[in-house]
Amino acid sequence: MRRLALFLFALCLALPAAAERKQTFGDLDVHYNAFNSSFLQPDIAAAVGLTRSKTQGVVNVAVLKAGKASTAQVSGQVKNLLGQVTPLQFKQISEGEAIYYLAQFPFNEREMLNFTLNVQRGDEAPHSFSFDQEFFPDE
């Protein structure tokens, strides 16, 4: 599992530097990224129960409170340009001090997807944000 944490961290750093994938709400930082599941090595995908496919994406969310990994309730949805909505079912992955939330979603062709994520830590106020990302089936 340590390999998964290192891989997901490295993937966050490898994304385009023009836009850091982070939302800040007071002392709560939400780091997120989305990528094609075929980017995952087969053993890493299997270890966390993800399906590798050229038409399956993954959303990865990490919540930090005052700089330390924190548990949270993470939910959301992904919507394509036709308005078709797919709910995201996140599962928590804990490894040592690292905590990640992963969800998979389908996409059929090259398309721009809109993600809306909701994060709530304990009984604190919930936070929502959206982002767009284009996906390409891996060929």
- Residue 137 pLDDT: 82
SS (H, E, C) the chain: CHHHHHHHHHHHHHCCCCCCCEEEECCEEEEEEEEEHHHCCHHHHHHCCCCCCCCEEEEEEEEEECCEECCCEEEEEEECCCCCEEEECCEEEEECCEEEEEEEEECCCCEEEEEEEEEECCCCCCEEEEEEEEECCCC
What's the rounded Cα separation, in Å, for the pair 65 and 89? 22
Question: Does residue 31 have a pLDDT over 50?
Answer: yes
Quick one: 76 exposed, middle or buried, by C-beta within 10 A (0-12, 13-18, 19+)? buried
pLDDT exceeds 50 at position 69: yes
List of residues 6+ apart from 96 with CB closer than 8 A: 2, 5
How much is the pLDDT for 2?
A: 55
pLDDT at 16: 44
Tell me how far apart the alpha carbons of residues 130 and 78 are, in angstroms, rounded to a whole number.
9
1 vs 32, more confident:
32
* pTM to 2 decimal places: 0.84
pLDDT in tens, 91-108: 999 989 999 999 999 998
Average pLDDT over residues 40-53: 92
CB-CB neighbours of 3 under 10 Å: 12
